[in-house]
Amino acid sequence: MSDLLLEVIALDARDAEQAEAGGADRIELVCDMAADGLTPTAATARRVLAATDLPVRAMLRDAAGFAPESLTRLCRDAVALRELGVTEFVLGFLDDRGAVDVGVCRTVLGELDGARWTFHRALDNAADPLAAWDEVVELGADTVLTAGSKHGVAQGIPMLRELAARQCEGAPVVMAGGGLRVDQVSGLRSAGVRCFHVGSAVRPQGWDQPVSAEAVRSWVELISGD
């Protein structure tokens, strides 16, 4: 798929296996989608790493919202996941003004030993998403997962186009996700978005059932234009 990328949310090893079978490029590993995705357990991470050869990005988030419940615990979890073999991560924190919490981000990043990482949809909930983008560039993320709006891709298309225009050498790539629909992909690709993130879209029977390899395959074909 050249520079195109499809990332699939996985909750466990079976999800990871199905995502790989369907042709996904990367896994975002989380738990508790009722809270929009929290840090996976060490046991789950171990099983997922054993089940797939795909890159696995583990979420570092210990509470709903965009502030850590316990920064100490979050850092401890980051170290534990690294020791298990996780080499890529997902994180993002805001302060009480809705700005990127650079201090908290740097504290967590300090435990990752230069690992590649995604700044997640905290950007969509920032008071000023464009200012947040500039902060994330400085922090060194290689990817920003964004819907362009806290209400999802359907309302975030203009911001996604603006962020895609800011991609350049040394800046993060934009990964569109958050209620992403099939009919939105072509327009986003035309705007310069090359990376896509799906969760419920590849679970035809809902979050209580595993990822569907067939559904993943259809998304691979869609974003590659086959």
Tens of pLDDT along 65-96? Answer: 999 999 999 999 999 999 999 999 999 999 99
Q: What b/e readout covers 25-40, taking b as 16+ CB neighbours within 10 angstroms?
A: bbbbbbbeeeeebbbb
* pLDDT at position 169: 80
Name the 3-class secondary structure at 82: helix
* pLDDT at position 138: 96
- CATH number, position 191: 3.20.20.380
Place of tokens 């201090």: 103
- Total domains present in the chain: 1
* pLDDT at position 226: 55
Residue 81's domain comprises 5-224
> CB count, 10 Å around CB of 131?
13
pLDDT beneath 50, residues of the chain: 1
Contacts of 51 (CB under 8 A, 6+ apart): 13, 14, 16, 17
CA dihedral 71, 77, 82, 83 (to 10 degrees): 130
Extract the tokens encoding 70: 């316990």
Cβ atoms of 146 and 193 within 8 Å: the answer is no
**pTM of the predicted model as reported, rounded to 2 decimal places:** 0.96
